[in-house]
Structure 1
Protein backbone atom coordinates (compact mmCIF):
# COMPACT_ATOMS: atom_id res chain seq x y z
CA UNK A 1 0.00 0.00 0.00
CA UNK A 2 1.22 3.49 -0.84
CA UNK A 3 2.23 5.30 2.34
CA UNK A 4 1.03 8.75 1.24
CA UNK A 5 -2.03 7.75 -0.77
CA UNK A 6 -4.21 10.80 -1.52
CA UNK A 7 -2.11 13.08 0.70
CA UNK A 8 -1.47 16.69 -0.31
CA UNK A 9 2.16 17.60 0.35
CA UNK A 10 4.10 20.86 0.01
CA UNK A 11 7.88 20.58 -0.37
CA UNK A 12 9.94 23.78 -0.21
CA UNK A 13 13.18 23.87 -2.13
CA UNK A 14 11.60 21.08 -4.13
CA UNK A 15 13.05 21.89 -7.54
CA UNK A 16 16.35 20.08 -7.12
CA UNK A 17 18.58 18.13 -4.75
CA UNK A 18 17.01 16.53 -1.70
CA UNK A 19 13.73 18.35 -2.33
CA UNK A 20 13.40 16.95 -5.84
CA UNK A 21 14.16 13.39 -4.70
CA UNK A 22 11.61 13.79 -1.93
CA UNK A 23 9.02 14.97 -4.46
CA UNK A 24 9.68 11.95 -6.68
CA UNK A 25 9.39 9.54 -3.76
CA UNK A 26 6.24 11.17 -2.40
CA UNK A 27 4.55 10.93 -5.80
CA UNK A 28 5.57 7.27 -6.06
CA UNK A 29 3.96 6.76 -2.64
CA UNK A 30 0.64 8.24 -3.78
CA UNK A 31 0.84 11.91 -2.79
CA UNK A 32 0.05 14.98 -4.83
CA UNK A 33 3.08 17.21 -4.41
CA UNK A 34 3.32 20.97 -4.66
CA UNK A 35 6.91 21.79 -5.58
CA UNK A 36 7.58 25.19 -4.00
CA UNK A 37 10.76 26.97 -5.04
CA UNK A 38 12.28 30.12 -6.52
CA UNK A 39 13.79 28.04 -9.34
CA UNK A 40 10.88 28.34 -11.75
CA UNK A 41 12.31 26.51 -14.76
CA UNK A 42 13.68 23.59 -12.76
CA UNK A 43 10.54 23.35 -10.66
CA UNK A 44 8.21 23.41 -13.66
CA UNK A 45 10.35 20.82 -15.44
CA UNK A 46 10.19 18.47 -12.46
CA UNK A 47 6.43 18.94 -12.13
CA UNK A 48 6.02 18.07 -15.81
CA UNK A 49 8.19 14.97 -15.32
CA UNK A 50 6.00 13.82 -12.43
CA UNK A 51 2.75 14.43 -14.32
CA UNK A 52 -0.67 15.11 -12.84
CA UNK A 53 0.47 14.17 -9.35
CA UNK A 54 2.66 17.27 -9.08
CA UNK A 55 2.44 21.00 -9.61
CA UNK A 56 4.84 23.91 -9.24
CA UNK A 57 4.35 27.10 -7.23
CA UNK A 58 6.91 29.89 -7.03
CA UNK A 59 7.83 30.54 -3.39
CA UNK A 60 10.27 32.78 -1.57
CA UNK A 61 10.23 31.06 1.82
CA UNK A 62 11.23 34.25 3.60
CA UNK A 63 8.19 36.15 2.27
CA UNK A 64 4.97 35.86 4.27
CA UNK A 65 2.82 37.00 1.34
CA UNK A 66 4.28 34.22 -0.83
CA UNK A 67 3.30 31.69 1.82
CA UNK A 68 -0.22 33.07 2.01
CA UNK A 69 -0.61 32.75 -1.77
CA UNK A 70 0.76 29.20 -1.74
CA UNK A 71 -1.55 28.04 1.03
CA UNK A 72 -4.59 29.71 -0.54
CA UNK A 73 -3.87 28.20 -3.96
CA UNK A 74 -3.39 24.76 -2.44
CA UNK A 75 -6.65 24.95 -0.52
CA UNK A 76 -8.56 26.19 -3.55
CA UNK A 77 -7.29 23.30 -5.65
CA UNK A 78 -7.14 20.46 -3.11
CA UNK A 79 -9.13 21.55 -0.06
CA UNK A 80 -6.51 20.42 2.46
CA UNK A 81 -2.80 20.24 3.33
CA UNK A 82 -1.59 16.98 4.85
CA UNK A 83 2.20 17.29 4.76
CA UNK A 84 4.69 20.15 4.79
CA UNK A 85 8.39 19.52 4.24
CA UNK A 86 10.46 22.60 5.11
CA UNK A 87 13.50 21.76 3.01
CA UNK A 88 14.65 25.05 1.42
CA UNK A 89 18.06 26.17 2.70
CA UNK A 90 21.30 27.94 1.87
CA UNK A 91 24.83 27.21 3.03
CA UNK A 92 26.83 30.29 4.01
CA UNK A 93 30.55 30.03 4.78
CA UNK A 94 32.59 32.50 6.81
CA UNK A 95 34.43 32.82 10.11
CA UNK A 96 32.53 34.86 12.68
CA UNK A 97 34.99 37.76 12.44
CA UNK A 98 34.66 37.97 8.66
CA UNK A 99 30.97 37.15 8.31
CA UNK A 100 28.81 40.19 7.57
CA UNK A 101 25.50 40.89 9.28
CA UNK A 102 23.78 40.64 5.89
CA UNK A 103 25.25 37.18 5.24
CA UNK A 104 24.26 35.97 8.69
CA UNK A 105 20.73 37.30 8.33
CA UNK A 106 20.36 35.77 4.84
CA UNK A 107 20.96 32.29 6.26
CA UNK A 108 18.52 32.90 9.09
CA UNK A 109 15.89 34.33 6.73
CA UNK A 110 15.84 31.29 4.46
CA UNK A 111 16.74 28.44 6.78
CA UNK A 112 14.98 29.49 9.99
CA UNK A 113 12.46 32.24 9.24
CA UNK A 114 11.37 30.30 6.15
CA UNK A 115 10.70 27.26 8.32
CA UNK A 116 8.83 29.36 10.87
CA UNK A 117 6.64 30.91 8.16
CA UNK A 118 5.87 27.48 6.75
CA UNK A 119 4.71 26.16 10.11
CA UNK A 120 2.88 29.41 10.87
CA UNK A 121 1.04 29.24 7.54
CA UNK A 122 -0.15 25.63 7.58
CA UNK A 123 -0.75 25.19 11.33
CA UNK A 124 -4.30 26.64 11.31
CA UNK A 125 -5.32 24.35 8.44
CA UNK A 126 -3.84 21.23 10.01
CA UNK A 127 -5.31 22.08 13.41
CA UNK A 128 -8.76 22.42 11.89
CA UNK A 129 -8.30 19.13 10.00
CA UNK A 130 -7.21 17.45 13.22
CA UNK A 131 -4.21 15.89 11.49
CA UNK A 132 -1.04 16.68 9.58
CA UNK A 133 2.69 16.10 9.47
CA UNK A 134 5.40 18.74 9.28
CA UNK A 135 8.97 17.62 8.59
CA UNK A 136 11.68 20.23 9.07
CA UNK A 137 15.01 19.52 7.39
CA UNK A 138 17.67 20.61 9.86
CA UNK A 139 21.22 19.22 9.62
CA UNK A 140 23.79 17.25 11.54
CA UNK A 141 25.16 20.76 12.05
CA UNK A 142 22.02 21.44 14.07
CA UNK A 143 23.42 18.92 16.56
CA UNK A 144 27.00 20.21 16.82
CA UNK A 145 29.26 23.18 16.11
CA UNK A 146 31.34 23.54 12.93
CA UNK A 147 33.96 26.18 12.23
CA UNK A 148 33.27 28.59 9.34
CA UNK A 149 29.54 27.83 9.46
CA UNK A 150 28.30 30.18 12.18
CA UNK A 151 25.30 31.35 10.15
CA UNK A 152 24.30 27.90 8.91
CA UNK A 153 24.80 26.19 12.27
CA UNK A 154 22.83 28.89 14.10
CA UNK A 155 19.95 28.55 11.67
CA UNK A 156 19.86 24.77 11.85
CA UNK A 157 20.00 24.71 15.66
CA UNK A 158 17.11 27.16 15.47
CA UNK A 159 15.15 24.76 13.24
CA UNK A 160 15.76 22.02 15.80
CA UNK A 161 14.41 24.14 18.64
CA UNK A 162 11.49 25.46 16.61
CA UNK A 163 10.51 21.86 15.83
CA UNK A 164 10.25 21.08 19.56
CA UNK A 165 8.04 24.09 20.25
CA UNK A 166 5.77 23.35 17.28
CA UNK A 167 5.41 19.73 18.38
CA UNK A 168 4.33 20.87 21.84
CA UNK A 169 1.83 23.40 20.53
CA UNK A 170 0.35 21.36 17.68
CA UNK A 171 0.56 17.83 19.06
CA UNK A 172 -2.72 18.07 21.00
CA UNK A 173 -4.45 18.92 17.71
CA UNK A 174 -3.27 15.79 15.90
CA UNK A 175 -0.33 17.45 14.13
CA UNK A 176 3.14 15.92 14.26
CA UNK A 177 6.31 18.02 13.84
CA UNK A 178 9.69 16.31 13.50
CA UNK A 179 13.16 17.15 12.21
CA UNK A 180 15.59 15.34 9.91
CA UNK A 181 19.31 15.91 10.35
CA UNK A 182 21.26 15.01 7.21
CA UNK A 183 25.02 14.78 7.09
CA UNK A 184 26.95 15.43 3.89
CA UNK A 185 24.67 14.74 0.91
CA UNK A 186 25.60 14.60 -2.75
CA UNK A 187 23.72 17.67 -3.93
CA UNK A 188 24.77 20.92 -5.57
CA UNK A 189 24.87 22.63 -2.17
CA UNK A 190 27.26 20.10 -0.58
CA UNK A 191 29.10 19.14 -3.76
CA UNK A 192 29.20 22.27 -5.95
CA UNK A 193 32.10 21.01 -8.09
CA UNK A 194 30.20 17.88 -9.15
CA UNK A 195 32.94 15.55 -7.92
CA UNK A 196 32.16 11.85 -8.11
CA UNK A 197 31.39 9.98 -4.92
CA UNK A 198 34.65 8.07 -5.29
CA UNK A 199 36.52 11.37 -5.55
CA UNK A 200 34.84 12.57 -2.38
CA UNK A 201 35.65 9.42 -0.42
CA UNK A 202 38.79 10.89 1.13
CA UNK A 203 36.79 13.70 2.72
CA UNK A 204 34.57 11.16 4.47
CA UNK A 205 37.20 8.95 6.11
CA UNK A 206 36.07 10.17 9.54
CA UNK A 207 32.43 9.20 8.92
CA UNK A 208 31.55 5.67 10.12
CA UNK A 209 29.95 4.80 6.77
CA UNK A 210 32.97 6.19 4.90
CA UNK A 211 30.99 8.00 2.19
CA UNK A 212 28.78 10.93 1.31
CA UNK A 213 25.03 10.39 1.50
CA UNK A 214 22.64 10.21 -1.46
CA UNK A 215 19.58 12.50 -1.73
CA UNK A 216 17.24 9.52 -1.90
CA UNK A 217 18.48 8.34 1.51
CA UNK A 218 17.30 11.59 3.07
CA UNK A 219 14.05 11.39 1.11
CA UNK A 220 13.27 7.97 2.58
CA UNK A 221 13.73 9.29 6.11
CA UNK A 222 11.47 12.25 5.34
CA UNK A 223 8.87 9.88 3.90
CA UNK A 224 8.86 7.87 7.12
CA UNK A 225 8.18 10.93 9.28
CA UNK A 226 5.57 12.28 6.85
CA UNK A 227 3.67 8.98 6.79
CA UNK A 228 1.46 7.26 9.32
CA UNK A 229 4.32 4.83 9.95
CA UNK A 230 5.63 7.56 12.27
CA UNK A 231 2.26 8.08 13.99
CA UNK A 232 3.86 8.21 17.46
CA UNK A 233 6.83 10.38 16.50
CA UNK A 234 6.49 14.01 17.55
CA UNK A 235 9.27 16.46 18.31
CA UNK A 236 11.83 13.82 17.36
CA UNK A 237 15.22 14.22 15.67
CA UNK A 238 16.15 11.70 12.99
CA UNK A 239 19.86 11.76 12.12
CA UNK A 240 20.60 10.57 8.59
CA UNK A 241 24.29 11.34 8.60
CA UNK A 242 26.26 8.15 8.12
CA UNK A 243 27.13 8.23 11.82
CA UNK A 244 28.66 11.71 12.09
CA UNK A 245 26.61 12.56 15.18
CA UNK A 246 27.78 9.37 16.90
CA UNK A 247 31.17 10.89 17.62
CA UNK A 248 34.71 11.27 16.30
CA UNK A 249 37.51 8.75 15.77
CA UNK A 250 40.81 8.88 17.63
CA UNK A 251 43.21 8.01 14.77
CA UNK A 252 45.36 4.97 15.37
CA UNK A 253 43.37 3.55 18.26
CA UNK A 254 41.42 0.28 17.98
CA UNK A 255 38.20 0.63 16.04
CA UNK A 256 39.39 3.60 13.98
CA UNK A 257 39.76 3.31 10.19
CA UNK A 258 42.25 6.22 10.12
Structure 2
Protein backbone atom coordinates (compact mmCIF):
# COMPACT_ATOMS: atom_id res chain seq x y z
CA UNK A 1 0.00 0.00 0.00
CA UNK A 2 1.43 3.38 -0.95
CA UNK A 3 2.07 6.09 1.59
CA UNK A 4 -0.43 8.39 -0.13
CA UNK A 5 -3.39 6.29 1.00
CA UNK A 6 -2.42 6.81 4.64
CA UNK A 7 -2.37 10.60 4.50
CA UNK A 8 -4.88 12.23 6.88
CA UNK A 9 -7.90 14.00 5.44
CA UNK A 10 -7.38 17.70 4.84
CA UNK A 11 -9.93 20.43 4.31
CA UNK A 12 -7.47 23.30 3.85
CA UNK A 13 -9.04 26.25 2.09
CA UNK A 14 -12.60 24.99 2.58
CA UNK A 15 -15.46 26.41 4.62
CA UNK A 16 -17.71 24.02 6.51
CA UNK A 17 -21.04 24.83 8.15
CA UNK A 18 -21.89 22.50 11.04
CA UNK A 19 -25.35 22.80 12.62
CA UNK A 20 -26.00 21.45 16.08
CA UNK A 21 -22.39 22.43 16.67
CA UNK A 22 -22.63 22.62 20.45
CA UNK A 23 -23.98 19.08 20.88
CA UNK A 24 -22.13 15.81 21.36
CA UNK A 25 -21.35 14.98 17.73
CA UNK A 26 -21.29 18.63 16.68
CA UNK A 27 -18.53 19.65 19.08
CA UNK A 28 -16.35 16.83 17.81
CA UNK A 29 -17.01 17.76 14.19
CA UNK A 30 -16.02 21.37 14.83
CA UNK A 31 -12.79 20.23 16.48
CA UNK A 32 -11.91 17.63 13.87
CA UNK A 33 -12.62 19.85 10.86
CA UNK A 34 -10.38 22.51 12.41
CA UNK A 35 -7.62 19.97 13.06
CA UNK A 36 -7.79 19.29 9.32
CA UNK A 37 -7.44 23.01 8.51
CA UNK A 38 -11.03 23.84 7.54
CA UNK A 39 -12.67 27.14 8.33
CA UNK A 40 -15.70 26.17 10.42
CA UNK A 41 -18.99 28.00 10.88
CA UNK A 42 -20.45 26.53 14.08
CA UNK A 43 -24.23 26.98 14.33
CA UNK A 44 -26.43 26.26 17.32
CA UNK A 45 -29.37 27.95 19.01
CA UNK A 46 -27.76 27.43 22.44
CA UNK A 47 -25.61 30.53 22.79
CA UNK A 48 -24.12 29.48 26.13
CA UNK A 49 -23.08 26.10 24.73
CA UNK A 50 -21.53 27.77 21.68
CA UNK A 51 -19.50 29.95 24.01
CA UNK A 52 -18.08 26.81 25.62
CA UNK A 53 -16.50 25.67 22.36
CA UNK A 54 -12.71 26.04 22.35
CA UNK A 55 -11.64 29.51 21.33
CA UNK A 56 -10.25 29.34 17.80
CA UNK A 57 -9.92 32.12 15.22
CA UNK A 58 -10.80 29.58 12.54
CA UNK A 59 -14.25 28.98 14.04
CA UNK A 60 -17.12 31.41 13.48
CA UNK A 61 -19.81 30.87 16.10
CA UNK A 62 -23.33 31.81 15.07
CA UNK A 63 -26.40 31.43 17.27
CA UNK A 64 -29.49 30.73 15.17
CA UNK A 65 -32.80 28.90 15.10
CA UNK A 66 -32.18 26.56 12.19
CA UNK A 67 -35.89 26.06 11.55
CA UNK A 68 -36.40 29.74 10.70
CA UNK A 69 -35.77 30.68 7.06
CA UNK A 70 -34.57 34.17 7.92
CA UNK A 71 -32.08 32.88 10.46
CA UNK A 72 -30.70 30.32 8.02
CA UNK A 73 -30.33 32.97 5.32
CA UNK A 74 -28.37 35.14 7.76
CA UNK A 75 -26.02 32.27 8.62
CA UNK A 76 -25.40 31.41 4.96
CA UNK A 77 -24.74 35.07 4.17
CA UNK A 78 -22.27 35.47 7.03
CA UNK A 79 -20.54 32.19 6.19
CA UNK A 80 -19.59 33.30 2.68
CA UNK A 81 -18.60 30.61 0.17
CA UNK A 82 -19.55 27.25 1.66
CA UNK A 83 -17.79 24.12 0.42
CA UNK A 84 -19.23 21.57 2.86
CA UNK A 85 -22.62 21.61 4.56
CA UNK A 86 -23.15 19.30 7.54
CA UNK A 87 -26.76 19.21 8.71
CA UNK A 88 -26.30 17.75 12.18
CA UNK A 89 -28.92 19.58 14.29
CA UNK A 90 -31.84 17.40 15.36
CA UNK A 91 -34.30 16.66 18.14
CA UNK A 92 -35.89 13.37 19.10
CA UNK A 93 -39.54 12.73 19.92
CA UNK A 94 -41.09 10.77 22.80
CA UNK A 95 -41.21 7.63 20.64
CA UNK A 96 -44.96 7.93 20.28
CA UNK A 97 -47.05 6.09 17.75
CA UNK A 98 -49.00 8.06 15.14
CA UNK A 99 -52.15 8.21 17.25
CA UNK A 100 -50.21 9.40 20.31
CA UNK A 101 -48.15 12.23 18.83
CA UNK A 102 -49.49 15.76 19.20
CA UNK A 103 -49.68 18.08 16.21
CA UNK A 104 -47.30 20.46 17.98
CA UNK A 105 -44.73 17.72 18.50
CA UNK A 106 -45.09 16.61 14.88
CA UNK A 107 -44.40 20.12 13.56
CA UNK A 108 -41.44 20.64 15.90
CA UNK A 109 -39.76 17.41 14.73
CA UNK A 110 -40.36 18.13 11.05
CA UNK A 111 -39.26 21.77 11.37
CA UNK A 112 -35.90 20.97 12.96
CA UNK A 113 -35.09 17.56 11.50
CA UNK A 114 -36.24 18.09 7.91
CA UNK A 115 -37.14 21.69 7.08
CA UNK A 116 -33.91 23.05 8.59
CA UNK A 117 -31.64 20.83 6.44
CA UNK A 118 -33.71 21.79 3.40
CA UNK A 119 -33.29 25.48 4.21
CA UNK A 120 -29.52 25.14 4.50
CA UNK A 121 -29.27 23.10 1.31
CA UNK A 122 -31.47 25.65 -0.43
CA UNK A 123 -29.16 28.40 0.79
CA UNK A 124 -25.75 26.92 0.00
CA UNK A 125 -26.46 25.06 -3.24
CA UNK A 126 -26.57 28.10 -5.57
CA UNK A 127 -23.00 29.00 -4.63
CA UNK A 128 -21.83 25.41 -4.86
CA UNK A 129 -23.36 25.12 -8.32
CA UNK A 130 -21.67 28.33 -9.49
CA UNK A 131 -18.32 26.89 -8.42
CA UNK A 132 -19.10 23.43 -9.79
CA UNK A 133 -18.43 21.59 -6.52
CA UNK A 134 -19.90 21.06 -3.10
CA UNK A 135 -20.54 18.45 -0.43
CA UNK A 136 -23.61 17.93 1.74
CA UNK A 137 -23.64 15.47 4.62
CA UNK A 138 -26.95 15.02 6.43
CA UNK A 139 -27.01 13.29 9.79
CA UNK A 140 -30.12 11.13 9.56
CA UNK A 141 -30.76 7.94 11.55
CA UNK A 142 -31.47 4.24 11.20
CA UNK A 143 -35.05 5.47 11.71
CA UNK A 144 -34.69 6.98 8.24
CA UNK A 145 -34.41 3.54 6.64
CA UNK A 146 -36.67 1.45 8.91
CA UNK A 147 -40.19 1.99 10.18
CA UNK A 148 -39.90 0.77 13.75
CA UNK A 149 -36.78 2.37 15.21
CA UNK A 150 -38.33 5.52 16.72
CA UNK A 151 -41.58 7.42 17.09
CA UNK A 152 -43.80 8.36 14.19
CA UNK A 153 -42.67 11.98 13.98
CA UNK A 154 -38.94 11.26 14.22
CA UNK A 155 -39.20 8.37 11.77
CA UNK A 156 -41.07 10.49 9.24
CA UNK A 157 -38.58 13.35 9.58
CA UNK A 158 -35.56 11.11 9.04
CA UNK A 159 -37.16 9.26 6.12
CA UNK A 160 -37.72 12.68 4.58
CA UNK A 161 -34.11 13.67 5.18
CA UNK A 162 -32.85 10.52 3.47
CA UNK A 163 -35.15 11.28 0.54
CA UNK A 164 -33.87 14.86 0.30
CA UNK A 165 -30.30 13.55 0.39
CA UNK A 166 -30.88 11.12 -2.47
CA UNK A 167 -32.82 13.63 -4.56
CA UNK A 168 -29.98 16.17 -4.40
CA UNK A 169 -27.46 13.49 -5.38
CA UNK A 170 -29.62 12.29 -8.26
CA UNK A 171 -30.42 15.71 -9.69
CA UNK A 172 -27.18 17.59 -9.05
CA UNK A 173 -24.49 14.93 -8.97
CA UNK A 174 -23.55 15.62 -12.58
CA UNK A 175 -22.93 19.25 -11.63
CA UNK A 176 -20.32 18.50 -8.99
CA UNK A 177 -22.52 18.10 -5.93
CA UNK A 178 -22.18 15.15 -3.56
CA UNK A 179 -24.99 14.51 -1.06
CA UNK A 180 -24.89 11.67 1.45
CA UNK A 181 -26.55 10.76 4.74
CA UNK A 182 -25.09 9.19 7.84
CA UNK A 183 -27.62 6.99 9.65
CA UNK A 184 -26.53 6.36 13.24
CA UNK A 185 -28.21 4.00 15.63
CA UNK A 186 -28.09 4.99 19.29
CA UNK A 187 -25.37 7.46 20.22
CA UNK A 188 -24.02 8.18 23.68
CA UNK A 189 -25.33 11.76 23.88
CA UNK A 190 -27.97 13.48 25.99
CA UNK A 191 -30.33 13.35 23.03
CA UNK A 192 -30.97 9.67 23.81
CA UNK A 193 -32.76 10.48 27.07
CA UNK A 194 -36.25 9.01 26.70
CA UNK A 195 -37.65 10.35 29.96
CA UNK A 196 -41.34 10.86 29.40
CA UNK A 197 -41.52 8.32 26.59
CA UNK A 198 -44.83 6.62 25.99
CA UNK A 199 -45.31 3.31 27.87
CA UNK A 200 -45.59 1.44 24.56
CA UNK A 201 -42.16 2.75 23.54
CA UNK A 202 -40.50 1.73 26.81
CA UNK A 203 -41.97 -1.74 26.44
CA UNK A 204 -40.54 -2.04 22.94
CA UNK A 205 -37.13 -0.83 24.10
CA UNK A 206 -37.10 -3.39 26.90
CA UNK A 207 -37.63 -6.19 24.36
CA UNK A 208 -34.74 -5.03 22.17
CA UNK A 209 -32.01 -6.48 24.39
CA UNK A 210 -29.76 -7.73 21.60
CA UNK A 211 -29.26 -4.26 20.19
CA UNK A 212 -25.54 -3.29 20.12
CA UNK A 213 -24.25 -0.73 22.59
CA UNK A 214 -24.64 2.93 21.58
CA UNK A 215 -21.88 4.39 19.43
CA UNK A 216 -19.50 7.01 20.72
CA UNK A 217 -19.99 10.48 19.19
CA UNK A 218 -16.44 10.28 17.86
CA UNK A 219 -17.32 7.17 15.89
CA UNK A 220 -20.22 8.88 14.15
CA UNK A 221 -18.17 12.03 13.52
CA UNK A 222 -15.44 10.00 11.81
CA UNK A 223 -17.92 8.78 9.19
CA UNK A 224 -19.16 12.33 8.57
CA UNK A 225 -15.55 13.42 8.05
CA UNK A 226 -14.96 10.61 5.58
CA UNK A 227 -18.05 11.46 3.51
CA UNK A 228 -17.06 15.13 3.50
CA UNK A 229 -13.54 14.34 2.32
CA UNK A 230 -12.00 13.73 -1.08
CA UNK A 231 -11.54 10.08 -0.05
CA UNK A 232 -15.29 9.73 -0.68
CA UNK A 233 -15.18 11.46 -4.07
CA UNK A 234 -17.13 8.62 -5.71
CA UNK A 235 -19.66 8.20 -2.92
CA UNK A 236 -22.94 9.96 -3.70
CA UNK A 237 -26.55 9.41 -2.74
CA UNK A 238 -25.97 6.86 0.00
CA UNK A 239 -27.69 6.50 3.38
CA UNK A 240 -24.91 4.86 5.36
CA UNK A 241 -25.88 3.10 8.61
CA UNK A 242 -23.46 3.60 11.50
CA UNK A 243 -25.18 1.28 13.94
CA UNK A 244 -22.88 -1.65 14.77
CA UNK A 245 -25.26 -3.88 12.86
CA UNK A 246 -28.41 -3.05 14.85
CA UNK A 247 -30.47 -3.06 11.64
CA UNK A 248 -29.51 -6.71 11.22
CA UNK A 249 -31.52 -7.68 14.32
Normalised TM-score (structure 2): 0.88
Q: Residues of 1 paired with 2:42 and 2:19: CA distance? A: 6
Shift of the alpha carbon at 1:95? Answer: 2.4
Unpaired stretches in structure 2, ≥5 consecutive residues? 1-7, 196-205
Q: Does 1:59 align with 2:61?
A: no
**Residue-by-residue CA offset, 1:48-102 (whole Å, 9 max, x unaligned):** x141121211121111111111111111xxxx21100001111011222221111
Task: Tell me which moved more, 214-223 or 94-103.
Answer: 94-103
> Match of 1:91, SS?
coil
Q: 2:179 aligns with which of 151, 155, 177?
A: 177
Q: Does 1:206 align with 2:206?
A: no
Partner of 1:138: 140
Alignment of 1:31-42 (within 5 A): 31-42=38-49
Unpaired stretches in structure 1, ≥5 consecutive residues? 194-201, 249-258
Q: Does 1:6 align with 2:21?
A: no
Q: Residues of 2 paired with 1:25 and 1:192: CA distance? A: 29
Partner of 1:29: 36
Q: Residues of 1 paired with 2:32 and 2:193: CA distance? A: 22
Given that 2:169 and 2:236 are in contact with CA atoms closer than 8 Å, whether structure 1 keeps it comes out as yes
**Residue-by-residue CA offset, 1:22-63 (whole Å, 9 max, x unaligned):** 1111111111111111011111221xx141121211121111
Normalised TM-score (structure 1): 0.85
Shift of the alpha carbon at 1:169? Answer: 2.1
Q: Residues of 2 paired with 1:186 and 1:99: CA distance? A: 25
Q: Does 1:84 align with 2:85?
A: yes
Q: Residues of 2 paired with 1:134 and 1:40: CA distance? A: 25
Given that 1:44 and 1:55 are in contact with CA atoms closer than 8 Å, whether structure 2 keeps it comes out as no
Partner of 2:241: 239
> Match of 2:48, SS?
helix
Given that 2:9 and 2:229 are in contact with CA atoms closer than 8 Å, whether structure 1 keeps it comes out as no
Q: Residues of 2 paired with 1:189 and 1:215: CA distance? A: 11
Given that 1:204 and 1:211 are in contact with CA atoms closer than 8 Å, whether structure 2 keeps it comes out as no
Given that 1:71 and 1:121 are in contact with CA atoms closer than 8 Å, whether structure 2 keeps it comes out as yes
How many pairs does the alignment contain?
A: 231
**Residue-by-residue CA offset, 1:121-172 (whole Å, 9 max, x unaligned):** 1000110111111000100111112266000000000000110111122212
Given that 1:36 and 1:57 are in contact with CA atoms closer than 8 Å, whether structure 2 keeps it comes out as yes
Could you say if the C-alpha distance between residues 147 and 133 of structure 1 is closer, same or farther in structure 2, counting changes exceeding 3 Å?
closer
Partner of 2:108: 106
Moved over 4 A (4+): 202-205
RMSD between aligned residues: 1.7
